[in-house]
Structure 1
């Protein structure tokens, strides 16, 4: 408790805990309680602002570390292994076209040869060139604007993590839950497993008429 001057009329030696000023009836206690509450709110706002700044700084530092972990890529070159594969694939496809059809009906089939070229050469070449062109684009971007390249790599990493998380969430959502313990660590009982269990145990087998088994508690349903 402290003796103060009434904020309203200026009367001296009034307790700051007094409900009202004895001179003018001003609500002293409520007045100072309101001031104290404002101080507490102001202190909380300051603490929250400091916490926000701290988290932003930590986020910037983490982002900076991630950027520094991205190194400049090496200049992409055609893989010798892929070139060798293409040579072997061309020879193999030509051999299939010239020899294999003749063995069966004596008449080479151009349609079969086109399919073989597509399977052994076209699809692998398309996939490899797509990857190679992406690496060339990344390399050119890194040479032109390394910081932009780093940001792009971070973005691609984040997108990959988001895809993995969505796939995981989807698997969890589609997972069969154990009705006994609620675990999603379950597996489907295969027909072979049921047949084997019945053959070994007979009608006492716990797998008769059951489709799933919980790996956590062993319950079957």
Structure 2
């Protein structure tokens, strides 16, 4: 799916350079040369798939309260930083237009997998190669549901810790990647993943020295707020 080279994935687009999870951040990540961009998707009660990380609006917009409690029209009128709006999944995919790969992180459960699978299927039918997609989640049951609905789309298991069965959860999911917190990088976990043909990507890495160290440890790539720093090494 990915090249054998160290893979650079722009985190929430390019969060270090533009407001996260906005069209500007996605476009900035692409302009900086990232071959992949990552962003978060939540299913709003209206059915809309919104590219947004937090459950609440306060940190990244001029709104307040829980995203799910606000009408869609009100959410779409908010400033998500620098005059940017909260985009939909479809708006991001249209902007990307196959220029790079997209890692879609499922942030919510309860129908998110089904809705995202339907959208991705429509883009594949319109000509996107399945290799341009990676769907990941910390909510592994939701990711499992996605894999049943769209088995042809690669998935990545997100972890914040070292499991007792090492890469076992990723193997059970049929995952192409194991996306691991930088706090829990363990050579034995890397080795177990690689033994099963699973690539290891580490988040969120912004220090060039740490990037070099991780590459020496054998990880296959990093999620970073500064794709330009990773590409420079």
For normalisation by structure 2, the TM-score amounts to: 0.16
- Identify the structure with the greater strand proportion: 2
Higher RCO (C-alpha 8 Å, min separation 6): 2
